Structure 1
Amino acid sequence: MTQPVSPQPVSPPRDSTDKVPQAQPAAWRGLVVRADIRTLSLLGVLAALVLIGGITKPDEFLDTRNLQLVLTQGSVIGVVTVGMTFVITSGGIDLSVGAIVALASVWATTLATQEYGFGGILFTSVLVGLGCGLVNGLLIAYGGMVPFIATLAMLASARGLALQITDGKTQIVTSDSILDLGERDSYVLGVPPLVLVFAVVTIIGWLVLNRTTFGRRTVAVGGNAEAARLAGIDVRRQRLYLYLLSGLCCGIAAFLLIILSGSGQNTNGNLYELDAIAAAIIGGTLLSGGRGTIVGSVLGVLIFTTITNIFALNNLQSDVQQIAKGAIIVAAVLVQRRTASTT
């Protein structure tokens, strides 16, 4: 005689408001809220600086030409910062960006290069930037060198080569097609061409970081390189691409600097690495990697450029500017550490 089978208890259906499926969206919403607060804070700082500039030097600071100058000067370092943001997000660093800009600018303004006009100067700038980025990427990704050491070596080498090419002299640009881009007649609805290029680079950078698998791989490598490798990401190749991207941005920035100054000098890009890293950090990009924000980096660039402009209008010495920038960097890192410890 068969024994009756007792019915198995049936688990109640999981409610749609259960905490497990809601955990990831809740964490995502928290990140979005913090990002919004950070962006609003940066906008508040920028607004305060504009107010200070308007109070201390109302006629000079609020003049349309001066505001155009601030945006134009910020465009060069801004393009570099976009590339730096990607590198820092991946957990790396690039100390050679200023030297690469200098090398690209002097190589693109030699007499031999200028014979090819606009196209030759642009092509040389970008090619030199990509070449330096390739060397950095190979040394770091496949050579096993620490990014700090590899890019520091590139900094010294690129500066030395730039000095050798120029022999310490300024190389004047004679191409009218380049010089005309720096004139007011080339402005589009009152916006300088350099600012338009910066805007395009920023939009592309934001889309790549936030809307592509390349951007997600970059964040994953910066968050945990070993976990990213186990997930199937080629970490070495990704790092190579990132330093190529940084070099490309340096090449573009060098071309913009040539337009802005009408010359190529071995001293170009001095302390660009400091400005780019500082702008990215105060914008919200984690120095340890795993999180980056293009919008925050752009706001950081505008903040530093505005500070520099206000100091210049008030005849304050450059050493005071560097002290202020250093203090801002320290404050931003301390805020990042405190934020990370509370999450």
Structure 2
Amino acid sequence: MRNATHNQAEVMSEFLEPSTSKSKSKPARLPVIDEFSWIWVGLIALFVCSSIVAPGTMTRGSILAMLPFAGILAIVATGQTLVIQQRGLDMSAIGMVSLAGIVMARTGFAFNSIVLAVISTVCIGVVVGIINGALISRVAITPLVATLAVNALLIGCARSLTGNVPVDVPTVMQTISHAQFLGLPANVWFALAFVTTAWVITRKTTVGRRFVAVGVNPRAAEAAGVAVLKYRIGAYLASAVCFCAAGMLLAGFIGSASQTSGNDYLLPAIAAVVVGGTPFTGGRGSVVASAVAALFMAQLGQLVLALGAGPAVQLLVQACAILLATTVRHLPEVLRTIRKSRG
């Protein structure tokens, strides 16, 4: 019991009192590849393999065609990462991405203003995120069950708004989604904005340290005076906003919105989080690694398509990538154990 209490105190002091933990830290050593850095190695290896096996996927045109979808996936993966850091899972991504595009299209034409359309859509996302967080944190429903139920409700709303017929998107939103700045698609810049914001908040602020502490050990964080409920609901709120942004950008890029628009952005986003190294045990995670993994998954899908593989092979390749990433994530721990045994 005494050891467990001591370990909890160490965890809380690391995240809630960083200045104290730094003063007691060990002397600095040479940096090593951690669980969030392996994805960079994998991404470089994938690009090298693509240039050899399928050179056509490495042309400027192919990369520019892939990047917008990679950016959208990175935004969804960012929201999913925040939820998983709180030991949760948001299965409402399909419905939220689909409904966001539809609401943006409908309200954009109704108000003749893309600004009002975006604000209205984000407000709906905030409400959905609060509902998800409340069901899980207050009613104590399992995240999988709660978010699946909300997802079914969102898909039902999407179908009632469209009548199972895709709706057109305002020209302004299409222009924004297809725009380029400094040689990169606008979707990539939006993804960078979301990832950077999430990274700064979770890594460089007191709120972020408390957020991580809640994910590591909710009871210990609550005992330390942290408002656990606020951070748990906040994670689902942030994820819903990310899904809304992804849904609007996707609808603008495709030019239409439907109840099936978000079908391809649930499992790939979860896969990106896993490949990026964020564990389902909560606490530590990296939105940057998840975003890089989203780029990895997008390029991997393009490579498989270039090789003429069908949907079944694509799913098999994704599954192998997830298994490989999960295995590689434990390599740093294995290497440290080997070093200690040799020392």
Same fold at TM > 0.5 = yes
* Pair 1:146 & 2:142 matched: yes
Could you list the per-position Cα deviations for residues 55-97 of structure 1 after superposition, in whole angstroms to 9, with x for gaps in the alignment?
A: 2332x31221211122111111111111111111121111111
Secondary structure at the aligned position of 1:109 is classed as helix
Alignment match of 2:50 (pick from 25, 49, 53): 53
Q: Displacement, 1:337?
A: 6.3
Q: Distance in 1 between matches of 2:187 and 2:284?
A: 28
* Pair 1:293 & 2:290 matched: no
Q: TM-score, normalised by structure 1?
A: 0.84
Runs of 5+ unmatched residues, structure 1: 1-20
The code of the aligned residue for 2:173 comes to I
Q: 1:113 to 1:337 in 2, by over 3 A?
A: farther
Q: Displacement, 1:261?
A: 0.7
Q: Distance in 1 between matches of 2:319 and 2:95?
A: 20
Q: Which residue of the partner structure matches residue 173 of structure 2?
A: 178
Could you list the per-position Cα deviations for residues 173-199 of structure 1 after superposition, in whole angstroms to 9, with x for gaps in the alignment?
A: 2x332222244xx31121111111111
Q: Which residue of the partner structure matches residue 68 of structure 1?
A: 64
Q: Which residue of the partner structure matches residue 116 of structure 1?
A: 112
Q: Which residue of the partner structure matches residue 313 of structure 1?
A: 306
> Contact 1:100–1:129 (CA<8 Å) still a contact in 2?
yes
> Contact 1:103–1:128 (CA<8 Å) still a contact in 2?
no
Q: 1:212 to 1:22 in 2, by over 3 A?
A: closer
Q: TM-score, normalised by structure 2?
A: 0.84
Q: Distance in 2 between matches of 1:76 and 1:27?
A: 41
Q: Displacement, 1:251?
A: 1.0
CA RMSD in angstroms comes to 2.6
Q: 1:64 to 1:214 in 2, by over 3 A?
A: same
Q: Distance in 2 between matches of 1:74 and 1:28?
A: 36
Q: Distance in 2 between matches of 1:234 and 1:28?
A: 33
Q: 1:28 to 1:95 in 2, by over 3 A?
A: farther
* Pair 1:169 & 2:162 matched: no
Q: Displacement, 1:28?
A: 8.9
The sequence identity of aligned pairs, in percent, is 29
Q: Displacement, 1:127?
A: 2.0
Q: Which residue of the partner structure matches residue 188 of structure 1?
A: 181
Q: Distance in 1 between matches of 2:27 and 2:151?
A: 40
Q: Which residue of the partner structure matches residue 153 of structure 2?
A: 157
Q: Which residue of the partner structure matches residue 275 of structure 1?
A: 268
Larger Rg: 1
Q: Distance in 1 between matches of 2:301 and 2:186?
A: 22
Could you list the per-position Cα deviations for residues 235-256 of structure 1 after superposition, in whole angstroms to 9, with x for gaps in the alignment?
A: 1111111111111111111111
Q: Distance in 1 between matches of 2:203 and 2:214?
A: 15
